[in-house]
């Protein structure tokens, strides 16, 4: 589970709201997987993919508007993450194994989210705020 206090705060409040929403979706996903609820897990995975896609495109627009110098590497990291999430969904759709989702959240996704916000998002929000 991701606690709200674990989320690093960035300089743009709307980004913090989006990050909070996303962490709540990840927590919902973890609960569905723990409950062994295959349909709810699949539905939440799709909801998370949709939310993340929109979240990243909002960030990419902010970066473009502020001519952010690290746009390409930040966008590449978003694309990598989205295709990873897509692969996880395909894998889960085939195998229907909630343990794979729990392993992904706790072995990768949670740490990735916190690290991405702490590094790339923090730098870009600071840049956009001051430009």
Give me the least distance between CB of 31 and Fe ion, in Å please.
25
Give me the least distance between CB of 72 and Fe ion, in Å please.
13
Give me the least distance between CB of 102 and Fe ion, in Å please.
24
Give me the least distance between CB of 29 and Fe ion, in Å please.
19
Cα gap 125→127, rounded to integer Å: 5
Q: Which of 1, 10, 9 is nearest to 28 (CA)?
A: 1
Cα gap 69→88, rounded to integer Å: 31
Q: Which of 29, 62, 121, 125 binds Fe ion (CB under 5 A)?
A: 121
Query: Site map for Fe ion, 54-83, x if CB under 5 A?
Result: -----x------------------------
Contacts of 47 (CB under 8 A, 6+ apart): 25
22 binds Fe ion, rule: CB under 5 A: no
Task: State the DSSP code for 69.
Answer: T
By C-beta, is 22 or 59 nearer to Fe ion? 59
CB 22 within 8 A of CB 55: yes
Q: Which residues bind Fe ion (CB under 5 A)?
A: 59, 121
């Amino acid at each position: 589970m991701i606690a709200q206090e674990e989320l690093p705060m960035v300089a743009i409040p709307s980004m913090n709201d989006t990050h909070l929403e996303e962490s709540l979706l990840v927590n919902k996903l973890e609960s569905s997987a723990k409950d062994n609820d295959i349909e709810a897990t699949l539905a939440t995975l799709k909801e998370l993919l949709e939310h993340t896609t929109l979240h990243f495109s909002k960030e990419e627009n902010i970066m473009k508007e502020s001519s952010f110098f690290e746009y390409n590497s930040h966008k590449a990291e978003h694309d990598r993450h989205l295709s990873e999430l897509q692969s996880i969904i395909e894998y889960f759709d085939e195998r229907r194994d909630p343990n794979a989702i729990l392993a992904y959240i706790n072995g990768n996704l949670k740490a990735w989210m916190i690290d991405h916000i702490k590094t790339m998002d923090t730098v870009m929000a600071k840049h956009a705020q001051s430009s």
